Amino acid sequence: MITATTESLIFELSSPGRRGCSLPELDVPETDLPSEMLREDLPFPEVSEVDVVRHYVRLSQLNYAVDVGFYPLGSCTMKYNPKVNDRAAQLPGFAHTHPYQPVSTVQGSLSLMYELQEALRALSGFDAVCLQPSAGAHGEFAGVLLMRAYHQARGDDRRDVILIPDSAHGTNPASTAMCGYATVEVRSDQRGNVDLDDLRAHCDDRVAGMMLTNPNTLGLFEENVLEIADLIHECGALLYGDGANFNAIMGIAKPADLGFDVMHFNLHKTFSTPHGGGGPGSGPVGVSSRLSDYLPGPIVAKNDDLFSLHWPRYSVGRMKAFYGNFGVLVRAYTYIRTLGAQGLREVSEAAVLNANYLRVRLQDVYPLAIDRTCMHEFVLAGPPPGAEGVHTVDIAKRLMDLGHAHPPTVYFPLIVPEAIMIEPTETESKETLDQFVADMVQIAGEAQTTPELLRAAPHHTPVRRLDEVRAARKPVLRYPSEPT
Ligand SMILES: Cc1ncc(COP(=O)(O)O)c(C=O)c1O
């Protein structure tokens, strides 16, 4: 149902003869255009300038973004992105560079990429970093290709399986399948860690590697990570780190020290670029020395004070045209340099503190999926007790009525029925967190006393509850929309 906010679609404002611009008198000879280029009817709306401006401003106000309000979308790290990052990316020396320019004319850009590689190396403890992949999932794909290249180079062709915990993000098995491996699921235990007995039962000479997210998608630090790394290495396999949750451990723990052989960074999340809706992204991969010769290329090398493009000896090839998503690299570099090593550590500390603050304030009202100190996010196990017929989706929709136009992630991770995954990030104030708690507490009360209010929510948004699957699979992109 569409309410008054959007009903004045631009075609409905149309009035014959109304114009949004006035052209000067014709001062050149009038010419006939070929008739095949002309048509009788051109159904453009006839509107004034103010109609157009108001229409588009109104549409822009329907967009929700982290610049508008709280965005606790678990697993996505929707932190506020400082505007200075965008300013840096817009500098003409960066923005107007052409990828075909000779290397000697882009030393500044290459130096930025080199410094970023070095910063990511320092933060992760890895031996080498390649900036090419353009998303987390793309980094995963690169990482699994590296693991495959490593085994192939050793003539170890029997390995055809990648182990993945049941809590993992869906991109992990997808990347595995794209590289021709079968996925074998490993169970989580009662504390939300990988179940070590189940892992042991799966470790054999067919395993090429394991993909592990730490902190995992329950927002919990994998307590047995060192033991997991040992088990995986003992069976001749490699340990892949899904670095999507790096925001929790920057400057505190280095993935290489935890036993990971390769990991992707989600620069657009952890290192602050506006993201969502498919881009832009950047998913550099870091690797230990045994994988560095296989890295995608080119990577940036420094000799004396000159920067050059370098191809690792047995590179798996290019992941993307040219040099990765350069604008995101500039933003990440700016973010890192603005905060410095200590500042980045404080980012992670504040992200973890904010998540634990929310967890503790909500745990008496909503059931926790796992009752443990969390990292930068945590998972609730659905509606409060006594909420008859209310589901997680109803809570999320009701949050929209209370001004949280982008509610938390719901129904992920899949191992928690009715999951609500909350990631406040470090950039939110105590007042914002307290308001969110107050709204969640109000909704818990409503769920018990007036469940129908939740089931019919949202009530105050321009578009009411949609059939989300149909909206995604069969979007209505024409006006007037075809009858359904
Ligand atoms: C745990 C985890 N892994 C991987 C990804 C994939 O990252 P991207 O969306 O950048 O491809 C995500 C994205 O949300 C994630 O949360």
Output the pLDDT for position 306.
Answer: 97
Give the rounded percent of residues in the chain with a pLDDT score beyond 90: 86
User: Tokens 């993307």 label which residue?
Assistant: 320
- Six-digit token pair at 218? 């329950």
**423 Cβ closer than 6 Å to some ligand 1 atom:** no
Residue 3 has pLDDT above 70, yes or no: no
Q: Report the distance separating Cα 325 and Cα 309, nearest Å.
A: 16
Residue 161 dihedral angles phi and psi, to the nearest 5°? -130, 140
| Gap from CA of 110 to ligand 1 centroid (Å) | 27
Residue nearest to atom 8 of ligand 1 (CA): 136
The pLDDT value recorded for residue 39 is 87
* pLDDT (0 to 100) of residue 8: 57
| 372, pLDDT greater than 80 | yes
* Nearest atom in ligand 1 to 268's CA: 10
Q: Which residue has the higher pLDDT, 9 or 209?
A: 209
- CATH topology for 348-473 is Aspartate Aminotransferase, domain 1 (3.90.1150)
What pLDDT score was predicted for residue 72? 97
Over the stretch 232-259, which tens digit does the pLDDT of each residue have? 999 999 999 999 999 999 999 999 999 9
Q: How far is the CA of 156 from the centre of ligand 1 (A)?
A: 30
Region 444-448 average pLDDT? 98
Q: How far does residue 388's CA lie from ligand 1's centre (Å)?
A: 34
Rounded Cα distance between 273 and 328, Å, is: 6
Beta bridge partners, 162, equal: 183, 209
Tell me, what's the pLDDT at 280? 86
Does residue 142's CB lie within 6 angstroms of at least one atom of ligand 1?
A: no
134 in contact with ligand 1, CB cutoff 6 A: no
pLDDT for res 483 = 56
Nearest atom within ligand 1 for CA of residue 269: 10
User: Over the stretch 377-405, which tens digit does the pLDDT of each residue have?
Assistant: 999 999 999 999 999 999 999 999 999 99
Find the 274 Cα to ligand 1 centroid distance in Å: 15
Atom of ligand 1 nearest to the CA of 213: 1
Pocket test residue of 169, 271, 282, 285 for ligand 1, highest count of atoms within 8 A of CB:
169
Residue 186 Cα to ligand 1 midpoint, Å, equals 19
CB distance 376 to ligand 1 below 6 Å: no
Per residue in 160-210, pLDDT tens?
Answer: 999 999 999 999 999 999 999 999 999 999 999 999 999 999 999 999 999
3-state class of 176 per DSSP? helix
pLDDT tens string 285-300: 999 999 999 999 999 9
Question: Residue 278 in contact with residue 318, Cβ under 8 Å?
Answer: no
Report the separation in Å between the CA atom of 138 and the middle of ligand 1, taken as the mean of its atom positions.
10
The Å distance, Cα 279 to ligand 1 centre, comes to 12
Q: What's the pLDDT at 482? A: 61
The pLDDT value recorded for residue 402 is 97
Sign, CA torsion 218/224/227/229: positive
The whole-number pLDDT of residue 404 equals 95
Number of neighbours of residue 223 by Cβ within 10 angstroms: 15
Is the CB of 242 inside a 6 Å radius of any atom of ligand 1?
Answer: yes
How many angstroms does the Cα of residue 409 sit away from the middle of ligand 1? 13
Question: Which atom of ligand 1 is the closest one to the Cα of 135?
Answer: 10
Q: What is the Å distance from ligand 1's center to 25 Cα? A: 56
What CATH number has the domain spanning 83-339? 3.40.640.10
Q: Is 241 exposed, middle or buried (0-12, 13-18, 19+ CB in 10 A)?
A: buried
pLDDT of res. 4: 38
pLDDT surpasses 80 at 367:
yes
User: 484 pLDDT exceeds 90?
Assistant: no
The pLDDT score that the predictor gives to residue 7 is: 46
For residue 225, report the phi and psi dihedrals to the nearest 5 degrees. -60, -35
**Tokens 């399986």 identify what position?**
161
Q: How far apart are CA 393 and CA 457, in angstroms?
A: 9
Q: What is the pLDDT of residues 201-213, one digit of tens each?
A: 999 999 999 999 9
Cα–Cα distance measured from residue 484 to residue 477, given in angstroms and rounded to the nearest whole number: 13
Ligand 1 pocket check for 266: Cβ under 6 Å:
yes
User: Ligand 1 center to residue 269 CA distance, Å?
Assistant: 9
Q: pLDDT at position 211, please?
A: 98
Residues 95-125: b if buried by 16+ CB within 10 A, e if exposed: eebeeeeeeeebeebbbbbbbbbebbbebbb
**What would the two tokens of residue 136 be?**
């987390």
Q: Is 135 in the pocket of ligand 1 (CB under 6 A)?
A: yes
Side-chain half-sphere of 104: how many Cα atoms within 13 Å?
0
Q: What angle do CA 142, 144, 145 make, to 5 degrees?
A: 60
Residue 337 has what pLDDT? 98
Helices 107-124 and 326-362: crossing angle in degrees, nearest 10, is 30
171 within ligand 1 shell (Cβ under 6 A): yes
Give ∠ CA 309-310-312 in degrees, rounded to 5. Answer: 155
Residue pair 11/473 in contact (Cβ under 8 Å)? The answer is no
CA 434 to centroid of chain Cα atoms: 25
Rounded to two decimals, the pTM is 0.92
Coil, helix or strand for 194?
Answer: strand
pLDDT of residue 1: 34
Q: Where are the domains of the chain?
A: 4-62, 83-339, 348-473
* pLDDT per residue as tens digits for the range 258-269: 999 999 999 999
> For residue 328, what are the contacts with CB-CB under 8 A and spacing of at least 6?
267, 268, 273, 280, 281, 282
In whole angstroms, give the CA distance from residue 266 to residue 271. 8
Largest CA distance in the chain: 85
pLDDT, position 276: 81
